[in-house]
Amino acid sequence: MTAEHKEALARGREEGRAVRLYLEAIEEQKPRPGRRRTSESISRRLGVVNDKLSGADALTRLHLLQEKTDLEAELARADGGDDMAELESKFLKVAKSYGDRKSIGYTAWRAAGVEADVLERAGIGRGKSTRA
């Protein structure tokens, strides 16, 4: 394998990773039914769960431990707002070349949840179809 080929493969993996992580982050941020929880409300519930753990029977303890794990993961996601800006920045750098290479057009990006303004900043326009 030539050095150029290895470099192209590495670039493809990096671009694919940036696109995948951005699309996963968009999916995580989609509105869910019900009221959106804040970091404070998640932390309060985490405190309640921790208090209940000490006096819980075995089965209740199991369920509380799972809720604690879920709450900690939700809190980490809620506090990760800065990560979205970084993921978007990386996406913007690679989206056009990735889309051109994989023949992904504007409509498919939009259907995947990418906002129109993000696509515009990435240089992907409505009228520009990469399919022949």
- Distance (Å, whole) CA 112 – CA 61: 39
- Distance (Å, whole) CA 48 – CA 64: 10
Query: Which tens digits make up the pLDDT trace of 32-47?
Result: 787 778 889 999 999 9
The pTM score is: 0.64
Q: Write down the residue that tokens 């050095």 correspond to.
A: 3
The distance in angstroms from the start CA to the end CA of the chain is 30
- Distance (Å, whole) CA 82 – CA 84: 5
Q: What is the DSSP letter of 102?
A: H
Residue 111 predicted with pLDDT over 50: yes
